């Protein structure tokens, strides 16, 4: 956790919050990023510069603040569907499914669809975390037959929260079982969480 008052350039953007109350590292990065054009880099202490460098590595996805004028304006980060599909290494059909599912915001004007680069990078980061968790779970479950897991375990495997897990159930993307008020999901070894087939009926 980071105390804004201990870092002069981070203290100023915290005008609407307690400067002595610790904030998490991702919030600190967001504050630096949003207010970078108001920060005088020559005035940064060695300690604060080191903090920003660490936050760049941790949350920047290759983006740097130090030595730059800050993030480009929003319109400069708009990319085409073809460019957006290249980032998560997918195709336009799967990209459209993400749009339809509401997990990838987009803009449509004059018949053209564009995406904010930040949104695409955030989605890729979330999917990478989910895929890594699923692969690790599959590795641990090799050789193990089908077993029932809790909603919390299922959400952890997919790298999402319980709200998004329930949305996937309602969208008929996952099968859940409910017996005596207890909800579980089937984990099937290499196959991961049991998905709902198009011909199956609701439990």
pLDDT digits (tens, 9 = 90+) for 58-97: 998 888 899 988 776 655 578 899 999 988 888 899 899 9
Q: SS3 of 112, please?
A: strand
Residues 12-56 pLDDT 10s: 888 778 889 999 999 999 999 988 988 999 989 999 999 999 999
pTM above 0.75, yes or no: no
Q: What is the mean pLDDT of residues 114-123?
A: 86
Q: What angle do CA 51, 160, 162 make, to 5 degrees?
A: 125
Residues 120-140 pLDDT 10s: 888 888 888 777 776 766 665
Q: Which residues pair with 23 in a beta bridge?
A: 2
Cβ partners under 8 Å of residue 65, min gap 6: 32, 33, 36, 52, 56
Report which of 179, 173, 180, 178 is spatially closest to residue 194, judged by C-alpha positions. 173
| Total count of residues recorded for the chain | 203
């Amino acid at each position: 956790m980071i105390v804004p008052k201990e870092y002069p350039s981070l203290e100023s953007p915290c005008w609407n919050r307690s400067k002595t109350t610790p904030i998490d590292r991702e919030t600190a990065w967001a504050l630096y990023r949003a207010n970078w054009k108001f920060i005088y880099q020559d005035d940064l202490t060695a300690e604060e510069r080191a903090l920003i460098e660490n936050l760049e590595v941790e949350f920047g996805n290759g983006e740097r603040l130090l030595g730059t004028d800050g993030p480009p304006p929003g319109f400069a980060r708009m990319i085409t569907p073809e460019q957006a599909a290249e980032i998560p290494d997918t195709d336009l059909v799967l990209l459209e499914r993400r749009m339809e599912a509401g997990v990838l915001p987009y803009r449509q004007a004059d018949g053209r669809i564009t995406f904010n680069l930040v949104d695409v990078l955030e989605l890729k980061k979330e999917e990478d975390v989910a895929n890594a968790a699923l692969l690790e779970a599959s590795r641990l479950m090799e050789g193990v037959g089908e077993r029932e897991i809790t909603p919390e375990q299922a959400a952890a495997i997919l790298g999402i929260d319980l709200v998004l897990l329930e949305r996937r159930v309602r969208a008929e993307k996952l099968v859940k079982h409910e017996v005596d008020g207890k909800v579980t999901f089937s984990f099937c070894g290499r196959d991961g969480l049991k998905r709902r087939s198009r011909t199956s009926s609701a439990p």
